[in-house]
Chains A and B, each alone.
Chain A
Amino acid sequence: MDTTTIAILGFAALFLLLFIRMPVGTAMMLVGAGGIYAIRPQASLPVVAGEIFSEASNYPLTILPLFILMGNLAGVSGMSRDLYTAAHSWLGHMRGGLASATIVGCAGFSALSGSSLAAAVTMGRVSLPEMQRYRYDNGLATGAIAAGGTLGILIPPSAGFVVYAILTEESVGRLFMAGVLPGLMLTGLFILAIWLVVLRDPSKAPQSAEAEPMEARIAALGRASWIVGIILLTIGGIYTGAFSAVEAAGIGALLALGVTILRGQLTWPNLRDVVTNTLKSTGTVFLILFGAFVFKTFVGFTGVTYALTQWVGAQGFTAMQVVVAILLAFIVLGTFLEGFAILVLTIPLVQPILQSLGVDLIWFGVLMVIVLEMALISPPVGINVFVVKGIAREVPLGTIFRGIWPFWFAMLAAVILVLLIPDLALLLPDTMFG
């Protein structure tokens, strides 16, 4: 059997295993190990063991548990609530302001945690009761939480960027910086989407909170200064070159721990929750990474990427045409595959093609992460929607999915803007790294 046929069978087997609910990491590892065995039997065992150990001891990946730890500490210390309270204080009196405050809260929390699920759960628990109290439409309220949570993988620190950087051997720091402006832009687009929804149908946000006096707003902002300070120190430290991304993660986690202790929140139950939640999230990402690297090695053995690159070159497609086609394929994949699964499944295939066309992989990484965000809320498997459903048990799933559409189109607008204006992604990393 030739290697191209083995590659095709490998991809078919992988989709079958994913369909039967085999975890993404083990499915990729199984297909990768089996595929390598079919091509070079003696390499299979050392590749599996070697890739697992390499990723588990990969220094740049120490970012992941440390940033996840920082996000979890921010949750138990009350810093995330402070952030929502401050946003609520400044925006709550505006029409649709509570939903906008949720988005701002999610954006802020995303700057402290690389997980979209953590952002959706943490902010959802705080903001949903408030929006329901002011009779917000369930679709708008839950849609804002689900969509706001997705900012977690765009605004640095982002687990999505770390995994992309490891797979493509790009700089984590550059990718983190590249996510800042698109993250802020997407936050603005989400707020614009809320404003348009409420403008079109005011019954979706019939009441607003009382406008708070300026002293109360400033006091709320003051309480949020801990979290803002940590964000500025970590992200600012990376931007100015004072810290590497790993060092920023360590400092951020230690500062978050310090705030938790100062606030008297480092109780045994809180500590246990923080550690176990950090381990669960870390385990999720690393098992996927193990599988991804074994699978990537298998794809390399088949040489199918070379054949694909040659084929794309022979067709005379431009870089932009190929990028748009890949992004459209990701959007379709996002309707039935989980975001991380798309990332680790497709990067080994598309990276060589993009490199042969001279596409900037930092720019493409930002585009890809926004598209993965779309996958997080796309029916029928949008994982953030199910997370929000876990918080809003009385709201039907269909209502939540209907509520996410304005945000989905906001993300599409962000993709188009970053496609047309690459500097939105590249300005900060180019300014910083040259």
Chain B
Amino acid sequence: MSALPAPLGTIERGLHWIAGLFALLGGLALGVLGAVTGVSVFWRYVLNDPIFGIEDVSTMALTVVVAGAVAYGAVHQSHVSVNVIKYAGGRELTRVTDLAARLGGIAICSFAAYGLLTKGSCGLPCGAMTSNLGIIHTPFYYGLAAAMGFYAALLALHLVIGLLHWSGADPNETLD
């Protein structure tokens, strides 16, 4: 984490704390996913008694893993970008292009979060549930919306930090 003015530093610490929470939930869901897969194989092949609807549990656990992974990956800059612009220009160019890229990122992540909230809120009346166990999709839509919203918030913070470091090195610049 970079040394930032008090309000931004607090926001950055807060976002890292939330990312840790996403990682915790994602990690727990990862454990559930592994255990459920193992249990289903054991029941199917050893006990010869497939568990009805266990795929529903797996797929919903996967959404939690993915939400945690996308949010946690964002904090650690794991989302792949193509860094060829460094061959075209220095910081004078990248401070402008990074600003544009972050604005675009904020727009689409906010749009996706809003879309997930809207679509997810419909729930049962829209038939949004798993096919076997009837698990309602709504909370999982909300989890993904939270991840995308988190990513948008992080990009907004990086945008402000980038503006504050306009004349110097940006601590959140994409590196190889």
Residues of chain A having any CB pair with chain B under 8 Å: 17-27, 29-30, 33, 45-46, 48-50, 52-53, 55-59, 61-62, 65-66, 69, 242-243, 246-247, 249-251, 253-254, 257, 275-276, 278-284, 286-288, 290, 336-338, 340-341, 380-381, 386, 389
Contacts and interface: CB of A to CB of B under 8 A. Distances in A.
Nearest to B68: A279
B119 to A, nearest CB: 4
Most buried by B among A30, A33, A56: A56
Contacts of A386: 176
A250 B65 CA distance: 15
A58 B78 CA distance: 22
Given A56-B144, A65-B62, A21 B112 contact: no
Contact of A46 (B26, B69, B119): B119
B114 A45 contact: yes
Given A27-B104, A340-B80, A69 B112 contact: no
A316 to B, nearest CB: 36
Contacts of B23: 275-276, 279
B63 A53 contact: yes
Interface in B57-91: 58-60, 62-63, 65-74, 76, 78-85, 87
21 contacts: A21-B83, A21-B98, A22-B81, A22-B101, A23-B80, A26-B79, A49-B119, A49-B141, A52-B116, A53-B120, A55-B66, A56-B140, A57-B137, A62-B33, A250-B38, A276-B27, A284-B80, A286-B66, A288-B80, A290-B112, A341-B80
B10 interface: no
Contacts of B69: 65, 278-283, 286
A254 B81 CA distance: 32
Given A17-B104, A30-B108, A275 B27 contact: yes
A341 B82 contact: yes
A20 B101 contact: yes
B interface, over-half SS = helix
A287 B79 CA distance: 7
A280 B72 contact: yes
A121 to B, nearest CB: 14
Most buried by A among B40, B70, B100: B70
B2 interface: no
Interface residues of B, number: 65
A21 B101 contact: yes
A interface, over-half SS = helix
A49 B63 contact: no
A279 B65 contact: yes
Contacts of B55: 59
A29 B112 contact: yes
Contacts of A52: 112, 115-116, 144, 148
A284 B78 contact: yes
A149 to B, nearest CB: 16
Contacts of A288: 80
A114 to B, nearest CB: 15
B65 A381 contact: no
Given A29-B112, A337-B82, 13 more contacts: A19-B84, A21-B83, A22-B101, A23-B80, A33-B108, A45-B119, A50-B119, A53-B116, A57-B60, A250-B41, A251-B41, A253-B34, A386-B176
Which 8 residue pairs across A and B have the least CB separation, nearest first?
A250-B37, A283-B73, A283-B69, A49-B115, A20-B97, A23-B79, A282-B69, A22-B101
B41 A280 contact: no
Nearest to B79: A23
Contact of B79 (A49, A278, A284, A337): A284
B80 A336 contact: no
A246 B97 contact: no
Contact of A282 (B34, B41, B66, B174): B66
B65 A20 contact: no
A298 to B, nearest CB: 13
A89 B129 CA distance: 55
Contacts of B74: 283
Contact of B62 (A29, A56, A69): A56
B109 interface: yes
A18 B81 contact: yes
A33 B115 CA distance: 11
A30 B59 contact: no
B70 A286 contact: yes
Contact of A279 (B27, B82, B174): B27
Contacts of A45: 111, 114-115, 118-119
Contacts of B120: 49, 53
Contacts of B115: 45-46, 48-49, 52
B124 interface: no
B140 A338 contact: no
A319 to B, nearest CB: 31
Interface string B92-109: 001001101100110111
Given A17-B101, A20-B98, A341-B80, A49 B118 contact: yes
B136 to A, nearest CB: 13
A279 B70 CA distance: 8
B173 to A, nearest CB: 9
A6 B6 CA distance: 45
A246 to B, nearest CB: 7
B115 to A, nearest CB: 3
A19 B174 CA distance: 12
A65 B27 CA distance: 10
Contacts of B34: 66, 69, 250, 253-254, 257
